[in-house]
Amino acid sequence: MTILKVEALTCEYRVNPLGIDMKKPRISWKIQSDQRGTMQKAYQIQVSAGHDDFTNILWDTGMVRSDESIQIEYGGPDVTPRTRYFYRVKVWDNFDRESSWSSTAWWETGLLGHTEWKAQWITPEPEGIDPLSEPAFLLRKEFKLKTGIASARIYGTGVGLYELFLNGERVGADLLSPGWTSYHHRLQYQTYDVTEQLSEGANVLGTVLGDGWYKGTLSFENKRHVYGDRRTALFQLYVKYDDGSEEIIVTDNTWKASTGPILYSEIYDGETYDARLEKAGWSRSGFDDSDWQETRVQALPFTNLVAQENWPTRVTEVIQPIASFVTPAGDTVLDMGQNMVGRMKFKVNAPKGTRIVLKHAEVLDKDGNTYFGNLGKAKQTIEYTAKGEGTETYAPHFTFQGFRYVKVEGYPGQENGLPLENFLGEVIHSDMEPAGEFECSNPLVNQLQRNIVWGQRGNFLDLPTDCPQRSERLGWTGDAQVFIQTALFNYHGGPFFTKWLRDLKADQLPDGCVPIVIPSVVSGAGSAAWGDAATIIPWTIYQTYGDKRLLAEQYDSMKAWIEYIRRQGKNEYLWDKGFHFGDWLALDAKENSFVGATPKDFIATVFYAYSTRILRDAAEVLGKADEVQEYSALLDKIIEQFDHEFISPSGRLVSPTQTAHVIALIFDIVEGKAKERTAFELNELVMQNDYHLTTGFVGTPYLCLALSKGGYHETAVKLLMKEDYPSWLYQVKKGATTIWEHWDSIKEDGSFWSEQMNSFNHYAYGSIGNWMYRVVAGLDMDAASPAYKRIRIQPKFAGTALSYAKAVYESMYGRIRSSWRLTHEEIEIEVEIPANTMADILLPYANLTNVLEGGQPLDASGDSYSYIETVEGVRLTVGSGSYHFKYPNQRGLRPTFSEETRVIDVLDYQEAVDILEKYAPGVTKPPRIFVTKTQTLKELADFPEAGLSIGEVTALIEELNKIEWELVLVES
């Protein structure tokens, strides 16, 4: 019996989303099939309200002849607030098979507009509790319910941050709610199903309020009360009874207020908690709140309230410390083994009044002491005072830290060593779904990939921050746009960037200028490559997820940004005016400068062209024919003026920097012979620098992509494989577990880059991951078919550097896999393509006559694919399914072995004996010579497989003697 199933149903990217405001939500699904080449030919969706038995069908599409299976917009009657809608899907395929109905999924609407709010914003009466005081507020309301509770939902939010309690238990697992948005324009509310937490009779709803981003200290400019100076809460509880009646409990001035054990809690500085001040049972019925203060209604708007859009922030992993030790300075320190973002949770049995202090640091200095110099004004300090009543457990509430090392003071008995089992590191970030994996035969590169992922986890905490430790932690637009493609390979970023882009649009200035951070809380706006987040990110989201609605929603913002640029300077086709960061932190910068040598107007004009190209393409997708024509003409003029201004008549770029060549190539600004020359000269610039980079934030993300695209993939690989400064693997060799802000955040002598700006968790340079997925592993999309509807599998082997690479990506259609492995004898490529997609595959260096697929010659596999032989190898077009290709390694590709040896394969037998007798007396008759090295000489690639003369071999040995090497003999 054949298999055709519909599975993995999602609504607005989520499985069974609770409390969404989308009036026409979009449905997506994946297809499981045991038949190769499966394509959907038709689908049917049914939506029912109230019950999952589909007796009350609101919308039935009938059989729709279409291969669309993602982002299908609900087309039934208008949805109503606070209603659960059930849906199911069936499909028909190209083999005339009809699936069964999928399992039933659902979405539930939220309040669907500000008029549905019955609650009032409340805060403590200022006469009773100083609204500017540091201790967190406690708010409570006791109420009674009838018997026969059928269901219950809480809709609510707070400013700054809140934690919600019902009958003594925490509501939900979300942290740092409601997140950080452009609060004056948009404030998220959350929905909680609390049916199981309520009971007949007395119940208590309570909340704790902290400053958070709303009124706490923000940015390196040390601002406070950016959005407001009063903590306030807004909650309404709907209870439905079995008899159909309903009851509403809301925040109003009948609530009571107090303070409790959280004496201080700030994003940057940490938390001070005195357990002696805990109010036991404060969120349970029967608690005596007679000495609590009154509350008052606060005049805050309802029109800016939107349902939760982003993935919630949660504890996603728990890490135990790997060691505790005493530093040379005498400090007792925990080592978590990983630079992480989150909080420490600990338990302790201590006398009343015992004060325990935790201070968080990312690294140790060269003497082995904890290093706090890079934190700026951030204290990252937790202070806990014990109540002295047995074992106490504590974790901070309205703060987070970036750290690997924790300096511990005052813990009982710490002079005898800390009990590691009493400490846990709770990793906190937006609870995104993992999407991709990359691995290869080089352990250092695999560690680099882990560092990239950990850097993303640490900095994707409700918004894409630049760093998670110092007094900054802002949503830098430039960092986000250079990392966006790598980010989406690692994690599902649809909800995450949907929320952030809406804030970008909200904070965009009236003239179209884009602030440098989103939400906008610092001065500065309009820089090239930073403001271009307005175009690059929505376009990348569209390409990755087929999200045409978000593209349309952001289109006016994209257009406003281009028109803002267009008004700059005297020439509307060049961007030669205004403030720009340039190639930030590039190594070719002048002494005492953060800005690289590539001219700012060069960079600005290139990004002007790139964003204009994106806007034109977006206009085409959205059917805006007039604007396609307008922005096509604008793009042509920008390229024409760029050519006139920045390219010599002979085709040479005026800026002799790596970054200038990289961005001109990758954004297709140079054409014809100028393009060939630019690629050649980029390769020369890298080779002449001993395969080291000089690029900063602008050039680095595209450097290896530009080299590979320009025909110099071997150079790109050698660049990645460098282990000395400056390189990606230099950081790894220095023990990094996340990505650094500077190539030499830790210098070769163990000292640090300037304290002024030195984050050890800064994801921008992790953008190399995009190239690793797309080029090294070869997993890419056809840009003309968004969301990987048509896939490109085109691995580029890494010379002698790697023996295998693998990438896996969970697309909107399903799992994609591309992996390859080299031995001396054969090449092996494995591919997995999800149903309802197609793929174009290149088998490099293959011939039609010698390729086996699944152990059979190509032409013996039926009609599930077509193929053709080209100068590059065999090209195939395939449908869904798993494919296993093998063919002879006829090009002399030299794979490494697990111990990362670089190989010079079989020399003439007698020559090998002669060499060994000369350099290793007493050892004879080896079958091969292996040269163990950590770097590869360019010349090695040019040696033929055999036939070297004694003179040539001697010359080779002399060359090898200039670097560290050894001969390793392998028995036959």
Q: Which of 493, 507, 424 is nearest to 460 (CA)?
A: 493
Element (H, E) at 667: none
The pairing of strands 790-793 and 838-844 is parallel
Mapped onto helix, strand or coil, the DSSP state of residue 672 is helix
In angstroms, rounded to a whole number, what is the distance separating the alpha carbons of residues 761 and 251? 40
Ramachandran region, residue 491 (left: φ > 0; alpha: ψ -120 to 50; beta: rest): beta
The answer to whether the beta carbons of residues 665 and 701 sit under 8 Å apart is no
Residue 917 phi, psi (nearest 5): -65, -30
Residue 571 phi, psi (nearest 5): -110, 115
In angstroms, rounded to a whole number, what is the distance separating the alpha carbons of residues 237 and 244? 16
Instruction: List C-alpha distances in Å: 495 to 9, 365, 432, 451, 717.
Output: 16, 39, 9, 23, 34
DSSP result, 559-588: HHHHHHHHTSSS-TT----S----SBT-TT
The answer to whether the beta carbons of residues 285 and 144 sit under 8 Å apart is no
Structure tokens belonging to residue 468 = 């998670």
Place of tokens 């238990």: 169
Structure tokens belonging to residue 928 = 């091969």
Q: Which of 414, 272, 395, 417 is nearest to 344 (CA)?
A: 395
DSSP result, 876-894: EEE-SEEEEEEEE--S---
Catalytic: which of 741, 832, 853, 911? 741
Residue 42, amino acid: A
Structure tokens belonging to residue 937 = 């000489």
In angstroms, rounded to a whole number, what is the distance separating the alpha carbons of residues 578 and 591? 23
User: Is 266 among the residues known to form the active site?
Assistant: no
The answer to whether the beta carbons of residues 456 and 487 sit under 8 Å apart is yes
In angstroms, rounded to a whole number, what is the distance separating the alpha carbons of residues 183 and 962? 62
Neighbouring residues of 871: CB distance < 8 A, sequence distance ≥ 6: none
DSSP result, 635-657: HHHHHHHHHHHHB-TTS-BS--S
Dihedral over alpha carbons 159, 163, 165, 171 (to 10 degrees): 110
User: Is 627 among the residues known to form the active site?
Assistant: no
Structure tokens belonging to residue 263 = 């004496």
Catalytic: which of 392, 472, 627, 832? 472
Structure tokens belonging to residue 508 = 């965009």
In angstroms, rounded to a whole number, what is the distance separating the alpha carbons of residues 865 and 693? 41
In angstroms, rounded to a whole number, what is the distance separating the alpha carbons of residues 226 and 958? 66
DSSP result, 363-415: EE-TTS-EE-GGGTT---EEEEE---SSEEEE--SS--EEEEEEEEES-TTGG
Q: How open is the CA angle 815-818-822, to the nearest 5 degrees?
A: 155
The pairing of strands 64-65 and 370-371 is unpaired
Neighbouring residues of 383: CB distance < 8 A, sequence distance ≥ 6: 270, 271, 272, 273, 355, 356, 357
Neighbouring residues of 612: CB distance < 8 A, sequence distance ≥ 6: 562, 631, 634, 635, 638
Which positions are catalytic?
A: 472, 741
